[in-house]
Structure 1
Amino acid sequence: MPLSLYLLALAVFAMGTSEFMLAGLVPDIATSLDVSVGAAGLLTSAFAVGMIVGAPLMAALARRWPARTSLLGFVLAFAVAHVVGALTTSFAVLLGTRVVAALANAGFLAVALSTAATLVAADRKGRALAVLLSGTTVAIIAGVPGGALLGMLLGWRATFWAIALLCLPAAGGVVMGLPARVATSLRGAPVGSSLRGEIAQLARPRLILVMLVGALVNAATFATFTFLAPIVTGTAGLGELWVPVVLVLFGAGALVGVTLAGRLSDRRPGVVLAVGGPALLLGWFALATLAAQPVALLLLAFVQGALSFALGSTLIARVLYEAADAPTMGGSYATAALNIGAAGGPVVAASTLGAGDLGPVWASGLLVAIALLVVLPLRRFGATRVRQPAA
């Protein structure tokens, strides 16, 4: 894999850390800015909405720009948003910075996904995306616990400064790792490729189905991930210090899952789906029934992280394959699908909390079950060929 992919993954790590760490900082932010915890929670919602809207919007705006220019601009905008967020004493301004950061994050990821697919051979997209998405999994393993610890020791503003500083080497990596003339537009596409033509690809049933399955699997992942803390301290009866341990185990499993799936998702996606899908479903049901046993909880956190991200990364790769005739917008379709799941999963899970701490886990199982039913029309998934852009 080219070095440039790993440099892009560094930026994904910084952005992933910012996205995931906020949940642990909400009480501190609420106290500091004199707002309710519920109001402070809107920061997470604002980021999610910005990601969903921003992916196609930013990709469309940047489709005619060189990839390096687009990615560098998004990283720097992300950094500036965090500097402003660290300095402000206004909750409204902070909320605005989260929207700006989400738009920059969405634009970066959309362009990076499309760019990563052009840096390798046509039949190695899955492996390229596995490298790129390893930034997200490392953010879960190290960035999120590290950010939470930094916030606990020095306050939430310190975490915003840390993210801004982390963007600097990421920006340097973009400049050094990508040639100046690689464009996000027209790579492998016909000269007359138009935005309208790329958007028209969304009328393809297979593309919509793959995006829907990806959204459902990611919704299941974040339904439980968002509410792991009360499961650890309540259901399993472990101390608060065990919460980051479980999160790290989940992230470590995610890294393993992405890595393994990257070697299979190009040639044998059907195997990943046929084996991983039912296993993921059984794993959620196992967690729902065994979470009170600490050893089982720790083991299943790792296993479910691996299975969730193995399927998720495979489905991202399939979105790009199915959107081969949308070379500049395909990455935004994958990004939007994943973030619809990331935003919707916690909402579904929150509605089940009245049934107890394990309600979100049962919700995850239900979401995966629906995903497996949706995927039935794609039962020949494993035979998916490498699509070439239309001539």
Structure 2
Amino acid sequence: PDILSLLRMRKEISRDIHKMHAFVRFKKTGDDMKSEREQFMAWFEPDHRIMPLTARFFQKRFTNMDWSIFTPTGSASWDGKTLTLGPGVDKVEVPKEELDELWRGYYKSIFNPARLKVKAMQAEMPKKYWHNLPESNLIESLISESRHRVQQMHKETLRSATSGGKNPYLKHLRNLTSHDENIVLNPDEHIRQPLSRLRELATCCQACPLHENATGTVLGEGPADAKIMIVGEQPGDQEDLLGRPFVGPAGKLLDHFLTKIGIEIKECYLTNAVKHFKFIPRGKQRLHQSPNLDEISRCKPWLIGEIQEIKPRIIILLGSTAARSLIGTHFKITQQRGIITGTGLAAKVVATVHPSYLLRIKDSQRQQHEKTLFLKDLQLAK
């Protein structure tokens, strides 16, 4: 029990130090005419006596200015030469300054309501710190207005996308609820929508509930003239956080096998059938959940748009979700893997398992067998 208690205390203090590093806000109090150095002060209320543990951080980071930090349990001052620790004080009135208004304007401009996660925000920036932040009087209103602002962003994006004449891609946007499994692309009906515009439109997609918990929309990535398009299932945990496809363990394994057959992954266009990460939380982990048919269908227009714009010669479908999206809901990867004909999607379409499937196999012999089959499938794309 004592060891657990110490470990818990250590974690709490480390978190307190992290919060102090993040939320101390200096205010200018004047200038030293002799040294020509600016003078600043700050007030902070940590949960523990951490001033001696954090002072060096501020000394190294703000070496070129004179500053003092006051807390109820300790204080620290730096004059360019000496770091001095002192006793705590009850309360210090920090002066307001003109830069506060500039900071509030900057904070408001970078606040993205489409990516707002209130619980996560309050976990990282608890309300008890707000009153010391210049932007504190904006936070409540920005949160309350976020839903309306997202709706306005969505409308403005669609209005912008459809201005200047008829936009064929709008047909797909209006049919996000369509469950048509047999969209066959006609090369003569190319949708002239740049990838940059697809990305802009997809950012505001709310066609299914997956957008509510995901960090953001993850559209494809790669050369606009790529000969090979690789379609996976959905972004994973790392892909969701970084906003890029195939950057996690499965992506690294895919890169390994592509290199074996002489294909550079950077020359391929990488994307997913579903553009938001579907998961269930388990403590600090986010456990992957397979998209259902409705979610696959609602994301299909984005994938169709990417195919229309890239016009790949070869499409590699990784896993059942990708295959169900573009071939049909009854497609079975284990039974029908290999070259798929008659799709109208590209000159050659190859379906195989997803690399994450290989990573989940625990039996070494079976895993090696499946890796051999996976490699043979990829070779069909050459």
Q: Give me the TM-score of the superposition, normalised by structure 2.
A: 0.27
Query: Which of the two has higher C-alpha Rg?
Result: 2
Of Structure 1 and Structure 2, which has the larger fraction of its residues in strand?
2
Q: Which has the higher contact order (CA 8 A, sep 6+)?
A: 1
